[in-house]
Structure 1
Amino acid sequence: MTVCLGIDQSYSGLAMVAYDGDSQRRYSYLHAFAADRYTTQSDRLDAVQLQIGLNIDDITTMFGRIDVVAMEGYAPGSKFGRELAGELGGAVKLALLDKLNKPACYPLIVAPTKLKKYTTGRGTAAKAEMLLAVYKKWGVTYDDDNLADAYSLARAANSWFTGTGTKAETESLKDLKRFKGETHLV
């Protein structure tokens, strides 16, 4: 049994999907952390970190463990909100460090274009194409693109961890490494 966790982090739709490659069971979570619900940005980040920790507790209760985590990398061309996205990514990584043993606490960072290529075969797929590809490829239906991305991240983590998948899938993931704070390839 290999349990993989995919995290698509955003304030408007933070999505987490755990996937057991052997039993095909999954756990899905989606929540918005709208700024107007929190007094400060620090309170908002604290809520994110706490909620991720609670979900990790639920996942480890359900599956017994988490073997590998993949989270979506930052969009390098983004002009707005980079600082907030960086803070959010930091809160996610702190929750992982707090809740998971090594090396599972060090996530794979998957660039959005790599995730799209892994899932659809093209690095430029639109959100609707990702939703459709998740259904066509794996028979899983989500009505939210964040959940589809998180599921794709969990499946990519499973392929990376187990060395399984099509030639195109494994090729798209070949240079991924667990993030340990020094460097990472995306």
Structure 2
Amino acid sequence: MSPVCLGIDQSYSGLAMVAYDSGSGVRQDNIHAFPADRYITQSDRLDAVQVRVGLNVRDIESTLGCIDVVAMEGYAPGAKFGRELAGELGGAVKLALLDVLNKPACYPLIVAPTKLKKYTTGKGTAAKAEMLLAVYKKWGVTYADDNLADAYSLARAANTWLTRTGTKMEMDTLKELKRFKGETHLV
């Protein structure tokens, strides 16, 4: 049975999730926005994120089978604004994964944005348009939304990490993954 890998690019404006079955090549895409003005409090907003992620994960598993590994995009290092909100969002996503999966896949690979760009394009400074183009050129998948392209790249990186198959550049980028308290980080 081929692995099912889930990539999550979390943001409030476009939380993207892409599940990828490497055997069949089938993928399942989801994207949701959680604008602040739609919720009474930040807690309500985080609850909505956690519920939506949980529902999507259940749907993915009912369609593609058990998720073997999850990769999430890490936080932008040195970001000056929104760090606390990003941290809360990441926590809500992780809680949803723990609640629904409750197995090793719920401890996601955390991939720094620069490493994801390097894995996908060959350079760690790629712009959003370059990521969209690289996803098309590398895997033949077209997205109009950069969040979905990032989530798909994360799912492919998770598959490469799990199966230990990929190009030399992909493998070299992913071999820098390090374990921290139950999670694996690519910093």
The match for 1:12 is: 13
Contact 1:117/1:172 (8 A) holds in 2: yes
Distance 2:104 2:73 in 1: 18
The match for 2:66 is: 65
Consecutive aligned runs of 4 or more in structure 1 exceeding 6 Å deviation: none
The offset of 1:101, in angstroms, is 3.1
Partner of 1:104, secondary structure, is helix
Contact 2:109/2:184 (8 A) holds in 1: no
Matched, 1:49 2:37: no
Matched, 1:108 2:116: no
Partner of 2:34, secondary structure, is coil
The offset of 1:182, in angstroms, is 7.2
**What percentage of residue pairs aligned between the two structures are identical?**
82
Structure 1 segments unaligned to the other structure (5+ residues): none
Summarize the Cα distance change of 1:125–1:185 in structure 2 as closer, same or farther, 3 Å threshold: closer
Residue identity opposite 1:60 in structure 2 = E
Distance 1:183 1:123 in 2: 19
Structure 2 segments unaligned to the other structure (5+ residues): none
Partner of 2:40, secondary structure, is coil
Across the aligned residues of Structure 1 and Structure 2, the Cα RMSD in angstroms comes to: 1.3
- Cα deviations by residue, 1:82-108 (Å, 9 ceiling, x for unpaired): 000000000001001101132111000
Distance 2:183 2:70 in 1: 17
The offset of 1:77, in angstroms, is 1.4
Matched, 1:144 2:145: yes
- Cα deviations by residue, 1:121-171 (Å, 9 ceiling, x for unpaired): 000000000000000000000000000000000000000000010000011
Partner of 1:29, secondary structure, is strand
Residue identity opposite 2:88 in structure 1 = E
Summarize the Cα distance change of 1:179–1:3 in structure 2 as closer, same or farther, 3 Å threshold: farther
The offset of 1:181, in angstroms, is 5.1
Partner of 1:19, secondary structure, is strand
Please report the TM-score for the alignment, with normalisation by the length of structure 1.
Answer: 0.97
- Cα deviations by residue, 1:55-96 (Å, 9 ceiling, x for unpaired): 001000011100000000000111000000000000001001
Distance 2:112 2:90 in 1: 13
Residue identity opposite 2:34 in structure 1 = F
Residue identity opposite 2:169 in structure 1 = A
